[in-house]
Structure 1
Amino acid sequence: MQFMLLRSLEVSSMRCGLKLAITLIVQLVIVMHQTQCYAIDGTGKASITPNRGLVAGMSYTFTITYTAGEPDAQVVNGRWNRAVRFTEPFSINYPSRAHLNISEGTIAFWVRPLWDADDGKTHRFFDCFGGRGRQRTRYHISKMSSGVLRFQIFTANRAYDLDFNIGKLWKRGEWHHVVATWRNIGEKHNDAEMHLYVDGHEVGKPIKMRKIPVRTIAPSFCIGAGMIGAREYADADIDELAIYDRAFAPNALPQGPPALEHPHLRFYAPFDGTVIPAKSELPIPRGIAPGGAIRIAIPRTWTPPQNRDPHGAGFVTATASPGTFVDITFGDYRNIEWYIIATIGGKPLTPGKWVRIVYGDRRYGAPGATIQPFPQRRWVNPRNHLGVWVDADGDGAFAELPPQNRYKLEIVAQPTAQFGVFAPSTVAVNEPFRVRVTAFDQFYND
């Protein structure tokens, strides 16, 4: 009897232990699931000093301070509850591999333009673009400068454009519902199809091809702006964006907010503070997660940044809030810009925390960083400027901070070092002629 009681207690304790273990595992999985996040790129604020009184060809120490903060998206009254207003080169980025199906799918959203469709500008609503060479692909929905609404699937060899002219149809402040569907996309499929719908009606000429050979997809997609070309932003309110892994028929198009239990729903952004990627409601996070990065763009005509020689020109150092560490690497872009890339480690950069990068740090004997030897009152190349970009979740997709944080510095010539006198090589006797005198600095800037 005692043995049976002990066996009973042992079995009961084993069952309780197993139940407790299962409960702990389930709770742990739930906690881990709830802490997942898909960050918004291009958020926070930055300051760069000095930013005035720069003299061509001189050396300076630049301090770039990034402070994590709330997204700069403006929330407005939407078609359903709330919407995000994209009135600057600002985008909300998410990973695409779990949410965007290459071979078949549907993208649906509501848009309220802050422009008339004949404004002559390109406005991008959705853009998934990336890859190199034969792997380069693009899925995007935009209003083009010609006044057409375009749904495009782009491969390395060809762009498949489905266009509909909205030049005289869309007006400022009006809500419109846009749905784009695709089916049988990829090298393993035949009978590819693309369809475009506006306000519940199919528009444009559907694309039906034997094959649209998409191989891969970019790692992330942008809502509200293009992956490249910061000027091509939506300038519109966007609401209720949903992505499905099924191409809906014309009589079954999604209209209002989707049912969260819909079996084909892959991504849903109601823009009311939450997103539902992969059928899981997750908060829109703030700041930069470990693995994310800050990228500083520096004109190519300046001293190359480096952190190998503390006594050399362009020496770079970095510090961060307690608990966060920074790994500094470097890159460049097409002989236009140098990049300082600060990758975040340790604790995440939550709102209010900071990273400080010093370019041309003189504390260890370096001479600073020499800027270009010519004056520049207006930056001709829009990419050739001091700027700060953010990849909040480490997926490799950087978004530039909004324009108020963009630094297009004015550089003036040095003091006069010599004069140039210009006169005709041949003149007539007793005839007046014009002489021009120009002051130059040591680099022959006038």
Structure 2
Amino acid sequence: MRAFESSTWPQRTRKSDLLVLSNVFTQPAIFWVSTVAWVAAAKYTTQDHRPLTTDILFPALRQVIKTHPSLCVALKNESSSKAAFTRLHTIDLSQIVEFRNSDSLQAAFEGQLTHGFDTEPDAPLWRIQVLADNTVILAIHHVIADGLSTIAFHGSLLRAVRNGSFCDTSSLVQIPDTIRMLPTVEAVTNVWPSIPTILDRIYREFAPQYLKSDRHAWSGKPVPRTGTLRTNVRLISFLPHDVAAFCSLCRTHRATLTSAFYVLTVAILSRMLAGDTRYKTISSAVAVSLRGVAGVSGDAICDFVSAHFAHPPVNPNFSWTTAARYARKLRKQKRDARQSIGLLRLLFRNYIPFMRGHLGRKRDSGFVLSNLGRFDAPMIEGTWNVVNTVFAQCDVIIGAAFKLNVVCDPGGTLNVALTWGDYGVETDFVESFISQFQDAFHDLLV
């Protein structure tokens, strides 16, 4: 696969550069490996249980690739401040699509999230793994995609396999010269931070730890100084009738599923930390999509996401009032969260020293919650359908101690993937959290 730079394409962006660096920081001062940011699985089915073969998948992927320019790029100079996209001439699907004689989704997720991208050769920043039960797993780099992009990918792939235009089954895809990437987030919406936001960030970076607002916050283990990344995964599901009842409760109390899960997570962690007087708050983050304020379609594959960071007080009791209050705050964050991206400009592209400065320090977040909502693909008889969707994100050295990744499939089942690294929290901690979270969820339905 050859690549070339084009002056008509944005060669580098402030946000993209930092996303690259933040995701590749695996063994500081030892080596760089670009990690997988997202994996998303969707199970494709037909009434006659047709297998998803290359004769069906390759033509469909050809359509998807030509629809989404982000799938047509490679990354150049990733570990420098001059990171740039280059457009590929061709993509050989036989090199990035793997069929596995296995249907273990958890094992597949762990394998994909731990196996990074090698960006030295001219290769796309995504790949596909197909399991024996027709589950298609997309692994994709954060520099070209946010979480919602994984839903957009599977929506596009489902439309393509339903289209059934399977005349060209070859593995080689020619990339049209007319393809153009979307503009960067800072090009389509104002991301410049306010003076109070700038001053707050400077204070949090340089003030002594004993004066910081998060000095009594739980955030998992400190960021390690060196090590390798391995992402652990646990998958849990909530049945459609329980999900419908829970969402009804949310509406009754003017909350959302995201805000309710956030407050429930804080409550469970508070119970687990009971008796430890070191902690008075919990460092947290919730992913916030910027597509609305940027005017970008939900069908696009792009990176238009930020996050809202907070330090809720330790409180073992779930409160619908608190969930409703947080739902209102998240609605406001759809605009305010842009400022987190604008803060990157203050680094003046000195990203590597900034990242290294986090090594050995307290983490910014104990957990991060990402909710993609529902994969809206109604069942159609006599053609391909999607019956299960799951997504997860990888561990990052300076990232949250553990992550909750939520998506609802077309049938109404809510799937949650919990991911964490060995340096964030212990496995026993996460498994205890899962057990208590499931129990607390069902207690609220009683």
Same fold (TM over 0.5): no
Superposition TM-score tier, normalisation by shorter sequence: under 0.3
Ranked by relative contact order (alpha carbons within 8 Å, sequence separation 6 or more), the top structure is: 2
> Which of the pair is proportionally richer in strand?
1
Normalising to structure 2: TM-score of the pair? 0.24
Normalising to structure 1: TM-score of the pair? 0.24
> Which of the pair is proportionally richer in helix?
2
